[in-house]
Amino acid sequence: MEIVANLSMLFTELPMLERIRAAAAAGFNAVEIQFPYEVPALQLKEELQRCAMPLVLINLPAGDLMQGGDGLACHPKRRQQFSNALDEAMSYALMVRPRMVNVLAGRLPAKVSRGRALATLAANLRDAAQAFDRLQIPVLCEAINPIDMPGFLINTPQHLQELLAEVQHPNCFAQLDVYHMARQGISTAQALAVLGKSVAHVQFADYPGRGEPGTGTLDFAAMRKALEQYGYSGAVAAEYRPSSSTLASLTWLKQPPFV
């Protein structure tokens, strides 16, 4: 099992570039970064190479989403902004070469029907999947729970599977966040029963609390068993908020079911 450190949430005691070496020293196999764009792409590429750490995932720029806004991908009036974000992500990816790129759906805009927002999201995902296909980089989309992110358009495995069916592009896949499922009472096995082979990447944190494994009640052995039963052989990324320092939170990394 390839264990990935999400450097947007782990090792935040350090500047971004220093987090890569810290993750390698701690025993992680690879890294991902939600929004790396403030770091010059060449600097990131060189540090990844120095540390021999693969970059598994980055997100497309998401506009004002993380500040409480609607984001870009499902907003009918922000198609040009999404296109600009796609161009920025492609330019960055050409240098740093992530294995995958994730598109955050965004919140349902006011006075926009769910159907219109979904059609906009599907069209934008289709454009992104086609563009990144030329770089042989898969494009992902994920379901996020509406408790932590009210108004988010894609919440459940069913929402995500219906979206992928609408996109209908062979370079568009699902990202499964185990924490966001648990927040809605959905187990990994239940999510995989819907999403199946469309899952290309997995993220995790414990529930409740979104801390490291062991701080909540999530059954990570059951998570691993479900992933293995569905033939998932990709990476699993630690995307949690450490309860203390990052290093102090890593006891799980050397214990079953992660080893």
For the chain, the domains span 3-254
> For 161-171, what is each residue's pLDDT tens digit?
999 999 999 99
Residue 148, pLDDT score? 98
Say what the pTM is.
0.97
| Cβ–Cβ under 8 Å, residues 11 and 23 | yes
Q: Is residue 18 within a helix (H) or strand (E), and if so which, with residue range?
A: helix 16-26
239 annotated active-site? yes
46 annotated active-site? no
Q: What percent of the chain has pLDDT over 90?
A: 100
Distance of CA 42 to the CA centre of its chain: 22
| Cβ–Cβ under 8 Å, residues 207 and 174 | no
Distance of CA 139 to the CA centre of its chain: 10
Buried b vs exposed e over 10-35: b needs ≥16 C-beta within 10 Å?
bbeeeebbebbebbbebebbbbbbbe
> For 67-84, what is each residue's pLDDT tens digit?
999 999 999 999 999 999
Residue 136, pLDDT score? 98
- Nearest 5 degrees, angle CA 85-CA 9-CA 70? 40
Residue 110, pLDDT score? 97
Over 86-154, what HEC string results? HHHHHHHHHHHCCCEEEECCCECCCCCCHHHHHHHHHHHHHHHHHHHHCCCCCEEEECCCCCCCCCECC
| Domain 3-254 homologous superfamily, CATH | Divalent-metal-dependent TIM barrel enzymes (3.20.20.150)
Q: What percent of the chain has pLDDT over 70?
A: 100
CA distance 107 to 243: 29
Average of per-residue pLDDT across 4-21: 99
- Catalytic one among 142, 162, 166, 212? 142
